[in-house]
Amino acid sequence: MPGIDPLGLDDPDLRILSVIAHDFGGGPVGVKTIAIAIGEEVRTVEEVYEPYLIQTGFIKRTPQGRDITEAGRRHVEGE
């Protein structure tokens, strides 16, 4: 499917991973900051994108914010 990578991630998913990994050194970073960085509503990030990214093991939610996992880092860096 165009715009979807082999693991089912689309452009906003990849932007979230990239923002956490590159702009915020892997996290932790707040969901509001992520939403602003990718131009989405906080609720959209929390309800649409985050559940799948957590399910795939690419990000984890902590009390301090969102962290990218090693698997998420490898995926966003194309390894």
Closest CA to 64 of 9, 17, 18, 24: 24
pLDDT tens string 15-53:
999 999 999 999 999 999 999 999 999 999 999 999 999
Q: Give domain limits for the chain.
A: 11-74
Any idea which architecture 11-74 has in CATH? Answer: Orthogonal Bundle (1.10)
> Would the pTM count as exceeding 0.85?
yes
Q: Radius of gyration over alpha carbons of the chain, in Å?
A: 11
Fill in the DSSP letter of residue 29: B
